[in-house]
Amino acid sequence: MNTFARRNTELRLGLLSVGITGFGYVLVQLPEKSDIPADLWFFVTIFVGLYVLAHMAVRQFAPNADPSLLPLAAFLNGIGFVTISRLDPDLARTQVGWMAAGIATFIATLVVVRRVRTLERFRYSFLLLGLLALLLPLAPGIGKTINGARLWVGIGPMNFQPGEAAKVLLVIFFAAYLVDKRELLASGGRRIGRLVLPQAKHVFPLLLAWAVSILVMVMQKDLGSSLLFFAVFGAMLYAATERSAYLLTAFVLFVGGAGIAYNLFSHVQDRVSTWLNPWEVAQGKGFQVVQSWFAFGTGGFSGQGFGRGNPQLIPNAPTDFVFSAIGEELGLIGTVAILAAILMFVGSGFRIALEADRPFPKLFAAGLTTIIGIQTFVIIGGVTRVIPLTGVTLPFISYGGSSLVANFVVLGLLLRISDDNARGRGIARRRVPSGVTAP
């Protein structure tokens, strides 16, 4: 597919996503007003304008990039807006502002990062910034505890989660570090029986990642971010070395640390006990999970229909339980559609990683994609009781400015890597003499 065809496909798919958003917004409003909402064209104009701006930025700064990622993000973001407007119209208007901020950051990412390999040179700067961002909510005075988790920083009237930026910053460092050490980590330095182990100094970043993730779990009371952080690094370590022993080691380290934290800290015990049996505390700590199950059961196969359910009965539905709200009003069909869109996004991200011909963009794309995939598993697994409930957001869908902006940065970086891949293949083809088939 040539550049012109790629971008036209992206434009058509994106406008289809905007159309679905407008149609969904009408359905949400009809049960209450029985006519087309007066602000429909206002929101549709904003969505069309934001998408066209994002599309033009890709056309200008990453013309050879994958044409599916931006429309998928627009679809997920649109469904999220419609669901949030159903739950809380005031939050929906605020979310539109965050969407504009996300698109602005997305465009800035494409403009500033013209070659993704330049990020590799500043690996330790990104490490320092990432650790500072991750630990900033623990700082006295500016750190804030909301809904039992100390994830927020408040500066004046503005609250944000610096941990969302930390994920991207630390993935840059992990990718650059693993590029340098992958051969040493893969080959090992000592042998114990049939097991080949790397030297201790090369495993230090794994232990550091484990220590920081446990610190986040304990001090910030956030199991979700802890699991996400360590799982992303474990997946990147496996991608770099292709040794399953590292996955097993990472799993054992995390389970061991989580077990210690469970025995020492009451808030970890509360999360686990509520996960195992929420019915005993259905009127207290288990209320959210129980209401989430009722929402899925009420939705059934085809759902109650937009605007016809009662997802507002679920506490924190626009943030932690937005997937449950979608399940009640769109049913199994709607939730499967959401999962399919996220899986297509993740699949495209991993395809971009496989197509990269250099180690750093390959690992970087894999790490960025893993963020989206693991974050989706953590929150959906929590609301469906597959794992203990956590406070992470559903990518592009949940209400929240910090998360939405970070997701658009991830999207911009993936498109930059995809564009670099396509240009690299074009340069390689031009270097092949005429009459010779390129390998």
Closest CA to 400 of 174, 97, 197, 105: 97
What's the mean pLDDT in 157-166? 83
Closest CA to 292 of 334, 333, 320: 320
* Helices (H), ranges, 136-265: 162-187, 200-219, 223-241, 244-264
What's the mean pLDDT in 410-423? 95
- Pairwise CA distance, residues 83 & 125, whole Å: 39
- Sorted by where each begins, the domain ranges of the chain are 3-431
Residues 317-372 pLDDT 10s: 998 899 999 999 999 999 999 999 999 999 999 999 999 989 999 999 999 999 99
Residues 19-35 pLDDT 10s: 999 888 888 877 666 67
3-state secondary structure of 5: helix
The whole model's pTM is what?
0.90
3-state secondary structure of 154: strand
3-state secondary structure of 199: coil
The beta strand positions in 147-279, using DSSP E, are: 149-155, 158-160, 190-192, 195-197
